[in-house]
Amino acid sequence: MEGNSTAGSFTPSQQFSIADLVVVVVYFSLNVAVGIWSSCRVNRNTVSGYFLAGRDMAWWPIGASLFASSEGSGLFIGLAGTGAAGGIAVTGFEWNVRNVSAMITLFPPWQIVTMPEYLQRRFGGERIRMYLSSLSLLLSIFTKISTDLYSGALFVQVCLGWDLYLSTVLMLLVTGLYTIAGGLAAVIYTDALQTLIMVLGAIVLAVKAFNEIGGYPNLEEAYLKAVPSKIVPNTTCHLPRADAMHLFRDPVSGDLPWTGMTFGLSIMATWYWCTDQVIVQRSLSAKSLSHAKAGSILASYLKMLPLFVIIMPGMISRVLYPDTVACVDPEECTRVCGAAVGCSNIAYPKLVVELMPSGLRGLMIAVMMAALMSSLTSVFNSSSTLFTMDIWRKLRPAAGERELLLVGKVVTVVLVALSVVWIPILQSSSGGQLYVYIQAVTSYLAPPVTAVFVLAVFWPRANEQGAFWGLMAGLVLGLARMGLELAYPVPRCGVPDLRPWLLADIHYLHFAVLLCAVTGAVTVGGSLLTPPLPSGRHLQCPPPVMGSRTAWMPRASVSPGLCHPPQGGWSPWLSVPNTHRRSAPGSCSATLGRHQPSKAKGPPAVALKDATEPPFWARVCGINAVVLMCVNIFCYAYFA
């Protein structure tokens, strides 16, 4: 079977049947219908309605959207491919769920639309907000849109034999249609539908894959024997890793060292789950704090699934098709998948093509398209929000809502064009492992944001000068490492590793720790060497607002610097519960009125419908968070 593989020419080994076509057509029709219905439920002609779904989302679509947005086609392809190449250690990226639950507990219902807006209101000034918005847009291009487009197109090529660019354009047309037209409401509700399809389809494929190798007990033994017939002489790169079934690996020789997975990954996950606009925007759309927390916890439970329905099936794909999925000979790999550095990225689509019967194959194609579309729509909406609210509104302060909405839609098209140009570069990066590429680029650019964000929340003395120069120092170091990575790619099998020591000897997860530490040191030093924030910016917030905080975070640790009138004359932006509208003398709201300039500029903030937490639902969320952590710890211990 392997000798006659036609994956290199991207001709599917089984024909796309009428049943498959019907399933795909029904899926797309249902998807468009849900998008139209959901977009009609909110007023899309306002900034809050378009970018935050009217702040009226319930917990279940929020949780489903969080999972779908973080589990796009890039991760389906990337996780399965990295699992095929190195085993289960990549699961650590998915099981860092403590940050999912922490996301909401770090943020009470402050009236913001983007995360850079929060830091501007914390520190004052404009340059930090502009920089973070620009950085988020670059990360969207480098690690989200381009990877999703490439992985989705690769999947369609392998499964259907369609032209790469034709399939990409068709999917972009459908996703762009309801994203541009419907805003965040359409994105979240279609994500909920896609999550259901993704989970069911992935479970069906996983069951068939395990049956094919005789069940889970045979996986480790079979994986260690999955060696391609055509190898590079005098090398070991064709051999499966002996520690394939272990999460924790050697801190020096491991491909994913346990030290990096423990410390470096926590830094990156804090950035992703607590500050990335794609993720946080879903929680900001919640109708109440309880719904936001419950959505985060639901997403955390779902994030426990990828090991069993994506990563292990990727390993099984290597077992069943070692000559294609595990190829190491450059000529053979180029023939199989068009990339000389390796073909592990085709592990999941190869499994779909070979194992799924007619009809179910169409379901899995719909699953991958769902993953692609949900991720793309999320990034499109969040990126357009960042550009519109943080950059365009700064350039044109007098812009009305109609202009802001138009700009948000136009920027989506521009982002797609830039991402398509980047695809050829990522195709050969990081040894052909898509997921490794995503995490490596993130580790070069995200840790400085984590350092500044954590200091902003927990250290009242941090000021704008220290934060800005900390971010600049981190940016310079991160771009230096990223530039070296592009100039000195990972050598192919059998080629000596002559890369600089910064690449060869320092793992990208260890570099993330170093980068975060340097940024934090510069931020602390810069803040101590410059004057503190004006005393008027350190006001205590009233207990009713902060009553929604979690017990472990002291009120005093977050209130300084958070309850102040942002520069530029914004109206009071902290959300106050309906039952506490009348502020007592000396409270935050009353003090804001005294410090605020008389002429307010910009649109007033819109209060959340409910900033309080009913005690019963607060306890339900807390109990589920504890249960989730226990499950997480057990799984880590079992697979460590």
Rounded CA gap, 427 and 416, in Å? Answer: 17
Q: Does the structure show a pLDDT above 50 at 507?
A: yes
Both tokens assigned to 227: 């060696």
pLDDT value at position 604? 43
* Helix-helix angle 265-275:277-284, to 10 degrees: 40
Q: Around Cβ 278, how many Cβ atoms within 10 Å?
A: 25
Q: Does the structure show a pLDDT above 50 at 243?
A: yes
Both tokens assigned to 139: 């990360």
What SS3 state is found at 249? strand
pLDDT value at position 293? 82
For residues 440 and 390, the model is more confident at: 440
- Res. 290 pLDDT band, cuts 50 70 90: confident
Both tokens assigned to 53: 């779904």
Please give the average per-residue pLDDT across 601-628, as a whole number.
67
- Res. 520 pLDDT band, cuts 50 70 90: very high
- Res. 259 pLDDT band, cuts 50 70 90: very high
Rounded CA gap, 551 and 543, in Å? Answer: 13
Q: What is the pLDDT of residues 342-394, one digit of tens each?
A: 888 889 988 988 888 887 888 777 777 766 766 676 677 777 777 887 788 88
Q: Around Cβ 503, how many Cβ atoms within 10 Å?
A: 18
Q: What is the pLDDT of residues 209-222, one digit of tens each?
A: 999 999 888 999 99
The helix (H) or strand (E) run that includes residue 363 is helix 360-386
- Show me where the domains of the chain are located: 7-533+611-639
Which superfamily does CATH assign the domain made up of 7-533+611-639 to? Sodium/glucose cotransporter (1.20.1730.10)
Rounded CA gap, 256 and 261, in Å? Answer: 7
Rounded CA gap, 39 and 35, in Å? Answer: 6
Both tokens assigned to 616: 């019963």
Rounded CA gap, 371 and 24, in Å? Answer: 14
pLDDT value at position 508? 93
Query: In DSSP terms, which residues pair with 286 in a beta bridge?
Result: 57
Q: What is the pLDDT of residues 66-122, one digit of tens each?
A: 887 777 667 778 889 999 998 999 998 888 755 444 444 444 444 555 677 778 888
For residues 571 and 263, the model is more confident at: 263
For residue 119, give the nearest of 280, 237, 343 by alpha carbon: 280
pLDDT value at position 53? 45
pLDDT value at position 426? 61
Q: One-letter amino acid identity for 187?
A: V
Q: What is the pLDDT of residues 162-188, one digit of tens each?
A: 666 676 677 667 666 655 554 555 667
65-74, 257-266, 443-452, 462-471: segment of lowest average pLDDT: 65-74
Both tokens assigned to 298: 């639901």
Q: CA 472, 478, 484: angle at the middle one, nearest 5?
A: 140
Both tokens assigned to 631: 């499950």
pTM reported for the whole predicted model: 0.76
**Average pLDDT over all residues of the chain:** 74
Rounded CA gap, 5 and 2, in Å? Answer: 5
Rounded CA gap, 164 and 424, in Å? Answer: 12
Which distant-in-sequence residues (6+ apart) come within 8 Å of 105 by Cβ? Answer: 293, 549, 550, 553
Q: Does the structure show a pLDDT above 80 at 585?
A: no
pLDDT value at position 112? 58
Please give the average per-residue pLDDT across 442-465, as a whole number.
91
Residue for token pair 């190829």 = 327
Rounded CA gap, 231 and 237, in Å? Answer: 9
For the chain, the C-alpha Rg in angstroms (whole number) is 24
Q: What is the pLDDT of residues 8-61, one digit of tens each?
A: 444 554 566 788 888 888 877 777 777 677 666 555 444 444 444 445 677 888
48-52, 281-285, 566-570: segment of lowest average pLDDT: 566-570
For residues 285 and 499, the model is more confident at: 499
Distances (CA, A) of 632 to 99, 202, 292: 12, 21, 21
Instruction: Please provide the size of the chain in residues.
Output: 640
Q: What is the pLDDT of residues 534-546, one digit of tens each?
A: 754 433 333 333 3
Please give the average per-residue pLDDT across 412-437, as a whole number.
69
Residue 314 contacts residue 434 (beta carbons within 8 Å) = no
pLDDT value at position 186? 61
* Helix/strand/coil percent split, the chain, to 5: 70, 0, 30
- Res. 556 pLDDT band, cuts 50 70 90: very low
- Res. 513 pLDDT band, cuts 50 70 90: very high
Q: What is the pLDDT of residues 122-156, one digit of tens each?
A: 888 888 988 888 888 888 777 777 777 777 777 77
pLDDT value at position 209? 93
Distance of CA 25 to the CA centre of its chain: 28
pLDDT value at position 473? 96
Query: In DSSP terms, which residues pair with 257 in a beta bridge?
Result: 249
Q: What is the pLDDT of residues 225-237, one digit of tens each?
A: 999 988 888 888 8
